[in-house]
Amino acid sequence: MHRKCFARETFYHPGFRACRCEELQRLFAAASRAKRSKIGSFLSLYHALKDDLRFAQALPERLGLTLARAVDSDPGLGPRLATALAAADPASAEAEQTVLAAAVSGKQARPGVPVPDHGPAAATPKGEIRPGVFLDATVPGRLVLSGSGVDAGFGDRLLIWLQG
């Protein structure tokens, strides 16, 4: 069985918090202490949201750690997040992350206002997207265009296109 799945199932039991430190040490002995701490945080988040989190594998580390800290400090947050996710019914990882980020930042979602959904999540593009233009989209919420084809004219055309 894959370690991640085994860890998830091991820590899903009600008493997992009592032995979490020892179990993390045993299961992930080769990982650094910081990495084990992050794994433990994500397991806490998984425990709070269970199957309500549809796109857990796409959750960015920073948002996941923020959510885990918030869930640990506010026991009622897990059920509120689950309710928000069920109400929004996100169809993509991006939509789910929008719901979670809004919930943890304290912004109130307006009832009846759908969460923006930009279609199915695509693989993160990286590399030459056209001759002389390179795209790096490895950081969530940030696109970087570079290369010899990215000049003032390209920027002007892109801006006009984006403004519609």
Condensed to tens digits (0 to 9), the pLDDT of residues 108-120 reads 444 444 444 444 4
Specify the residue for token string 């928000």. Answer: 84
Alpha helices in 32-123 (DSSP H): 33-49, 61-73, 77-88, 93-105
pTM assigned to the model: 0.52
pLDDT tens-digit readout, 24-78: 677 777 888 888 878 877 887 888 887 888 888 888 888 888 888 888 888 888 8
Instruction: Please count the other Cβ atoms lying within 10 Å of the Cβ belonging to residue 156.
Output: 10
- Could you tell me which residue, 14 or 21, shows the higher pLDDT? 21
pLDDT higher than 70, residue 148: yes
Q: What pLDDT is attached to residue 106?
A: 66
> What is the C-alpha to C-alpha distance for residues 63 and 9, in angstroms, rounded to an integer?
22
Percent over 70 (pLDDT), the chain: 73
- Type of residue numbered 152: A
Both tokens of 49, joined, read 């949201």
